[in-house]
Structure formats: structure tokens, C-alpha cells
């Protein structure tokens, strides 16, 4: 199968420039020292390292049991000197999900090598990713299930510029679509099969940016404490689902609620910790929901 047709090659240089951290003094060293593709993608035993999540967990939530998620996890924000895979990050980078769970404990080097491979060998790496995705989606179709793909598992890169996502979904049996979270309030997303959820942070607090955000995205994800999440879900249970429990499953294109409440995750990586200011307060979420219901705001 010809996977080259899914890659928008003329946009690759722009995509690579987007990854460069121009504030870093190490950026030139990074571009001058180019490891081989094999050293970045093969283990010591010669086995190719996985690009997408090798373990796909099918949802157990009523109504979405036939859907699963695979994704790609890259080095977050400034994890690599000279690169920045999440340029609009704020306090969230201190406790990024890349530093939680098994990712934080065991996979720091893997996601570092994966990111370097994507940067230095973008087209080749995307081709390998597409081959993996094709196989995973085909396996899902055999089981009469559908797969969603989240390429920015721990990053915020414009994959929509280098991949024809609509054509991929059309041709890949078992692939339901792509989706991601983003912290960029304005994204010129051309694909019907790419769903974006805005990730709210301390950088989104101005009224102007908030209204713009609400007009540009179907969903807004907000990190709160477990206690506040439960209270908010109960508080708005009698309304038309303004708030939903984002931890039941992660497939945001299937959601109906506007505000996706996510419980703050425990950081497991050494030397990393979640900044409490990134976690939004109960009162602030109530204000956000009230503002979205105001007739003067287009939603």
C-alpha cells in the first residue's frame, strides 16, 4: 500500500521549524548532530521501538464499548534541549501527563528518541507511524470495532499540516478518526475527521481569549481536583450536560458536554510535580460555565 499519498510533503519543513525551540542555545547543536534513524528507532537487540501505543484498551462505558484509542507519546515541552513540542504550554508542563503513570516511571528515554526521530526524519517516521496505524485499525475492523488516534498524547504539534487526515480515515478500515487536545486558541484545522478539544489553563483567563476559545472549539477540558469534579458533576446534572466526566473515557469526539472535567493526575517522574495553580478552582469553573450560558456569548 502506498502510504506516501497521505503525507503533505511540502509542509514538512514548516512542521520541523515548528518543533524548534528558538529560545534555546542548544538548537544549533541539535541540528548539527543528527543520529542515524536506526539508532533512534531500534532497541539494542535490533527490534523496532513502537511508535503508537501497543496496548489498546477498549472502553467499558455504556454507548462507547466498540471504540478504542491508540496514540503517540512524544517528549513534552522543553524535555529536549533545542526542541519544544508544546509551545503554548504554561504551568501544565511541570506536571505533564508524560510524567505520570508508566510514562513517567519507565518511558522517558523512549519518548525522547521517538521525538528526535520525528524531527530529524519526519517523512520516514510518519510513514512508519501510518503503517502501524493501518495494522491496528485493520485489527479493530476484524473485531467489528473502531479505533481513534491521538497523535499529540503528550505534545501539541500541527500534525494536521502534514497528514491528510480525511483521506487516511477514508482508506483505513476500522479507523474512526483523529483527535487531540490543544492549548492554541486558534487552529486552522482543515479536516472533518480531526477533532480538537481546547485545554484550559492559567493562560486562558482573559474574557477575550475565553470567548474566542468558546467560539472555536466544541469542547473545553479543565483540570480540577477529584472532589471538585464530583461536586460539579452533581451540580450540573439537571442541566443539558454542560459538564461531563472526562475520566470515564478519553474519546472527546463522542462527548456531548461542553466542559470536560479531568481529575489532576499524580506525577511519578523523579524531580517533577504538578503545579497547583494549573488545577482550576471550583468557583472558577462555575464562573466559566455561567459565562458560556450568557446570551451575549456565542457558543
| pLDDT tens per residue, range 247-262 | 999 999 999 888 999 9
User: Contact at 8 Å (CB) between 58 and 48?
Assistant: no
3-state secondary structure of 11: helix
| Nearest 10 degrees: Cα torsion 163, 165, 171, 174 | 120
Among the ranges given (168-182, 194-208, 271-285), the one the predictor scored with the smallest mean pLDDT: 271-285
Domain ranges of the chain: 3-293
Lowest mean pLDDT across 88-97, 157-166, 217-226: 88-97
Tell me the mean pLDDT in the region 14-26: 91
CB 200 within 8 A of CB 285: no
Predicted local confidence at residue 76, as pLDDT: 82
pTM above 0.85, yes or no: yes
Q: Any residues with CB less than 8 A from the CB of 284 and at least 6 apart, and which? A: none
Give per-residue pLDDT as tens, 28-78: 888 888 999 999 999 888 899 889 986 677 887 887 889 999 999 998 877
Counting every residue written for the chain, the total comes to: 299
Amino acid at each position: 500500500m502506498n502510504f506516501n499519498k497521505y503525507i503533505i510533503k511540502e509542509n514538512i519543513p514548516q512542521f520541523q521549524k515548528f518543533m524548534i525551540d528558538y529560545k534555546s542555545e542548544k538548537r544549533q547543536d541539535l541540528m548539527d548532530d543528527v543520529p542515524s534513524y536506526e539508532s533512534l528507532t531500534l532497541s539494542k537487540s535490533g527490534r523496532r521501538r513502537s511508535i503508537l501505543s501497543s496496548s489498546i484498551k477498549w472502553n467499558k462505558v455504556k454507548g462507547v464499548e466498540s471504540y478504542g484509542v491508540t496514540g503517540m507519546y512524544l517528549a513534552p515541552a522543553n524535555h529536549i534541549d533545542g526542541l519544544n513540542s508544546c509551545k503554548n504550554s504554561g504551568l501544565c508542563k511541570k506536571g505533564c501527563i508524560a510524567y505520570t503513570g508508566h510514562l513517567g516511571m519507565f518511558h522517558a528515554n523512549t519518548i525522547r528518541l521517538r521525538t528526535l526521530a520525528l524531527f530529524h526524519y519526519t517523512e520516514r517516521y510518519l510513514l512508519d507511524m501510518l503503517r502501524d496505524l493501518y495494522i491496528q485499525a485493520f485489527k479493530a475492523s476484524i473485531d467489528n470495532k473502531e479505533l481513534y488516534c491521538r497523535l499529540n498524547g503528550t505534545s501539541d504539534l500541527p500534525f494536521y499540516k502534514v497528514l491528510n487526515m480525511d483521506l487516511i480515515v477514508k482508506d483505513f478500515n476500522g479507523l474512526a478518526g483523529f483527535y487531540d487536545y490543544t492549548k492554541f486558541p486558534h487552529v486552522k484545522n482543515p479536516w472533518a475527521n480531526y477533532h480538537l478539544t481546547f485545554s484550559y489553563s492559567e493562560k486562558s483567563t482573559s474574557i477575550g481569549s475565553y470567548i474566542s476559545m468558546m467560539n472555536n472549539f466544541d469542547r473545553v477540558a479543565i483540570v480540577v481536583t477529584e472532589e471538585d469534579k464530583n461536586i460539579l458533576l452533581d451540580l450540573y446534572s439537571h442541566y443539558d450536560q454542560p459538564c461531563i466526566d472526562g475520566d470515564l473515557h478519553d474519546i472527546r469526539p463522542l462527548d456531548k458536554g461542553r466542559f470536560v472535567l479531568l481529575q489532576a493526575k499524580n506525577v511519578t517522574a523523579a524531580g517533577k510535580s504538578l503545579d497547583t495553580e494549573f488545577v482550576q478552582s471550583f468557583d472558577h469553573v462555575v464562573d466559566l460555565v455561567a459565562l458560556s450560558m450568557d446570551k451575549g456569548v456565542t457558543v
